[in-house]
């Protein structure tokens, strides 16, 4: 069993800043941030050379990360805004960090689940917020009219109220909120291209950590967890339990209006399509199931060994923007071997999971 890794991540390779944030840092005209601004300017100057070396695939490491203003690492900094049914962001600020709960369940749910996500990433992986640098967590609720969606727009989480017929409000499920925040983490790390297999990995990683947020908050072991994404999101009128099942992809719903859950659970059923950016929400069922199989094989809490293997893979140097399933499988196996030894239980569980879902052949 691994010892969890509480506290701040002291490895600078995990503090990766995208160019737009570097530009913002570089423009800071405040003496308190002088060192950070200088480091950002220096990094921007190096940008083209580094991108050439990396084939333009990865944002680069920002070595001046720890010069940002004093703040207690790991503390949440949440702000919830209310779009009031409009499609304009950010909306009216309705709750800031430390303010008490109000009467709006969407606001309270968003606030609580942002905190739960921060708690998972900080206490288990030592990651301070989305960017690893304590980026404030901003969310907007009541976006649009009967809006059937939630998304990460590159800066904030946005949640619709659902139509009330098929979907409830999207804040109702902690796994959905964890999913959206993890898109932010991916953006700041491997930055997987949102199309085809790399896009399906981007989606799967959000499902994995969305599920872990829920399990960690509820104190559920792998065996106790539902492994559902979006539990509670469907209204009672829908024949289904959730949006997706990581344990059994393709079984989450079977409804007259929505049809049957189309997710495949192995490469034998891989879906080729031009829709959904090449089926990113469909083929994500394959790596989702691989993660479940690893967690099931190892037992205990999935955020420990399995979560750490996936997290280190996401934030390490083994992935490129266009990594496919095979590359991700090899990277997770290498991470498992590095953390727990070649031929150990974790390494074998990872290899076997990828063989079971048809990504590896067993001869690797």
Partner 1 sequence: MKVIVSRSGGMAGIRLTWEVRVEEQPDPATWADFLNSLPWDDVTDSEAAPDRFAYRIRCAPHEVVLGETQVNGPWRDLVNRVRAANGM
| CA-CA-CA-CA torsion sign (263, 267, 269, 274) | positive
In angstroms, the CA 205 to CA 284 distance is 9
Catalytic residue among 179, 281, 340, 347: 281
Contact residues: partner 1, CB under 8 A: 148-154, 167, 170, 176, 179-180, 183, 187, 194-195, 199, 202-203, 206, 230, 233, 243-244, 258, 274-277, 280-282, 284
Distance of closest approach, residue 284 Cβ to partner 1, in angstroms: 8
Q: On the CB side of 288, how many CA atoms lie within 13 Å of its CA?
A: 33
Q: Which is nearer to partner 1, 202 or 301 (CB)?
A: 202
Angle at 120 between CA 117 and CA 126, to 5 degrees: 120
Residue 340 bears catalytic tag? no
In angstroms, the CA 147 to CA 169 distance is 9
Cβ burial of 266 (10 Å; 0-12, 13-18, 19+) is middle
Q: Which is nearer to partner 1, 225 or 238 (CB)?
A: 238
Distance of closest approach, residue 79 Cβ to partner 1, in angstroms: 21
In angstroms, the CA 122 to CA 116 distance is 10
Q: Which is nearer to partner 1, 187 or 301 (CB)?
A: 187
Q: Mind spelling out the 3-state secondary structure of 124-186?
A: HHCCCCCCCCCCCEEEEECCCCCCCCEEECCCCEEECCCCCCCECCHHHCHHHHHHHHHHHHH
Q: Which is nearer to partner 1, 37 or 208 (CB)?
A: 208
Distance of closest approach, residue 231 Cβ to partner 1, in angstroms: 13
DSSP-derived secondary structure for 245-286: ESSSTT-SBEETTTEE----SSGGGPPP-SSHHHHTTTTTHH
Q: Which is nearer to partner 1, 151 or 270 (CB)?
A: 151
Catalytic residue among 58, 109, 179, 180: 180
Distance of closest approach, residue 20 Cβ to partner 1, in angstroms: 14
Distance of closest approach, residue 282 Cβ to partner 1, in angstroms: 6
| Contact of 161 with 344, CB cutoff 8 Å | no
Residue 183 bears catalytic tag? no
Catalytic machinery residues: 180, 281
């Amino acid at each position: 069993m691994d010892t969890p890794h509480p506290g701040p991540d002291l490895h600078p390779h995990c503090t990766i800043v995208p160019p737009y944030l570097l530009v913002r840092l570089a423009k800071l005209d405040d003496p308190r941030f002088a060192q950070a601004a200088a480091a950002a300017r220096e990094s921007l100057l190096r940008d083209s050379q580094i991108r050439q070396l990396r084939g333009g695939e990865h944002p680069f490491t920002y070595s001046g990360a720890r010069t940002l203003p004093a703040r207690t690492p790991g503390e949440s900094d949440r702000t919830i805004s209310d779009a009031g049914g409009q499609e304009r962001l950010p909306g009216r600020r309705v709750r800031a960090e430390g303010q008490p709960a109000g009467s709006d369940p969407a606001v309270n749910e968003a606030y609580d689940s942002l905190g739960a996500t921060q708690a998972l990433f900080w206490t288990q992986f030592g990651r301070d917020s989305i960017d690893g640098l304590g980026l404030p967590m901003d969310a907007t609720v009541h976006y649009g009219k009967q809006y059937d969606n939630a998304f990460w727009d590159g800066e904030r989480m946005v949640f619709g109220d659902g139509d009330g017929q098929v979907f409830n409000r999207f804040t109702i499920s902690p796994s959905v909120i964890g999913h959206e925040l993890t898109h932010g983490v991916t953006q700041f790390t491997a930055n997987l291209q949102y199309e085809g297999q790399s896009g399906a990995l981007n989606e799967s990683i959000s499902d994995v950590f969305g599920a872990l947020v829920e399990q960690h908050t509820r104190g559920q072991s792998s065996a106790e967890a539902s492994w559902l994404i979006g539990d509670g999101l469907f209204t009672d009128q829908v024949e289904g339990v959730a949006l997706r099942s990581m344990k059994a992809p393709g079984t989450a719903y079977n409804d007259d209006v929505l049809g049957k859950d189309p997710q495949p659970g192995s490469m034998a059923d891989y879906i080729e399509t031009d829709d959904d950016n090449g089926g990113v929400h469909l083929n994500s069922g394959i790596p989702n199931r691989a993660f479940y199989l690893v967690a099931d094989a190892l037992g205990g809490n999935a955020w420990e060994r399995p979560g750490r293997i996936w997290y280190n893979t996401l934030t390490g140097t083994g992935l490129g923007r266009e990594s496919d399933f095979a590359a991700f499988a090899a990277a997770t196996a290498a991470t498992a071997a590095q953390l727990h030894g070649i031929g150990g239980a974790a390494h074998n569980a990872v290899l076997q999971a990828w063989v079971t879902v048809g990504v590896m052949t067993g001869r690797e």
